[in-house]
Structure 1
Amino acid sequence: MTRDRQPTGLSCARFYAAAGTAVCLSAKPGLAPMTTATVLDRDLRPVRTVEFGGTPNRARVSPSGRMVSWTVFVSGDSYTANSFSTRTGILDTRSGYLIKNMESIQLYLDGERHHAPDVNFWGVTFTADDNRFYATVNTGGRTHLVEGDMAAWTARTLRANVECPSLSPDGTRIAFKKRVRDGATDPWRLHVLDLRTLRETALAETRSVDDQAAWLDDATVAYALPGSAVWKVPADGSGSPSLVSADASSPAVVG
């Protein structure tokens, strides 16, 4: 079920909202790609803007509405490109503390402190406590799911081949895109990871999904497909995909 659409006047390449806070990523024209992140209140009135280099890619708001994150491409324009680089920022809307590039975080790869010039983070998803988060890190030609701690400013890898994680409302599972075909233009398939058992479940959507999925509820995952349409599928691997809204992208549930 969807509500009637309401025009806002915003032009967003990526959008996300939760608990009265929204973030709109918009591309700025010019010789060098630039992005503006506009943080909005529950009435979609701007309360803060941040500008940085790159092309809009991912956006998230924590369940409480306090923490906002975004990812941009700063070279290349696709995860399927031979060479790409990302930059991910985090804003604490309560304190105003801004991290423009989270690559300064202390990263532990398979339990060992990891330093490398090729480290890239993207696709942050926050837990309910506004301190812990999950994200993707790429280094050495491999992607990993990391669990991060804002206060300690550390992150540790949990599992390989996990991209664009999205934490379920109950905090027990992560929806993500998994690379299942190498060297293809359609390499990914949506999966759900149980954080307690680390067991993966492939979802019924067999088309390649290059998106950070959003949970409509604890049983349903939504995502955008090329052609600007939002679809949904059960999170337990059953059923089949169904259309939520045509001519749409960046799904988010706002209570």
Structure 2
Amino acid sequence: MTKREQNPDRSFKIKLKKTRGRTASQRQWLERQLNDPYVAAAKRDGYRSRAAYKLEEIAEKYGLLKPGDIVVDLGAAPGGWSQVAANRVKAADGRGAVVALDYLDFDAIPGVTILQQDFTDPVADGRLLDMLAGRRPNAVLSDMAAPTTGHRQTDHLRIMGLAEEALAFAVRVMAPGGFFLSKVFQGGSEKSLLDVLKRDFATVRHIKPKASRAESPELYVLATGFRGKAREQDSAEEEE
């Protein structure tokens, strides 16, 4: 990523006039979009969402998504994270692989296999592994967020529920040594998620990428070094 992409120009601001056709909240959202340098950068660079720069920054900083990796992107629509992952793992060259899961339909992406599937459906695990010919992913990504209600605590609980579902999926399908990256919200109930992450992964950290809006409560939790079979063996020994 270039310096310009990491720190786009913020010097020009667009202010919309009041119109009968828009509410105040709609006008504020549109002003934010028009003045967001990452929205402009995404259009220039061919990314489907500004969120692509969040994954780019995290992957660069922590050495993630290397050529040959097998990646699963949960709730992938419209596909910005899948684009980044495919580029980095060289999926179009056949070196790595990216499977994007979403119950929504969205346009094809070079090097990405799209599975139109709710990942919480009991059949999702099997369908994914069939598509990967039995290979297990070493990266599971989730940039999902439930529709916001405007009530901060409710929104927090909803996104934490999605993160916990994504983690449960990752633990079931991921290869030992893999990593899990998911969006979360600050709000006080992260402890249960962190307890599971610390049990099943060697390292857990919170990240606030530059492309995350300063006023947003969103963070990303990155867990690396999935213990996998070691955890399964420990559980078996405990049962004995």
TM-score (norm 1): 0.31
Greater fraction helix: 2
Larger Rg: 2
TM-score (norm 2): 0.32
Greater fraction strand: 1
Q: Which has the higher contact order (CA 8 A, sep 6+)?
A: 2
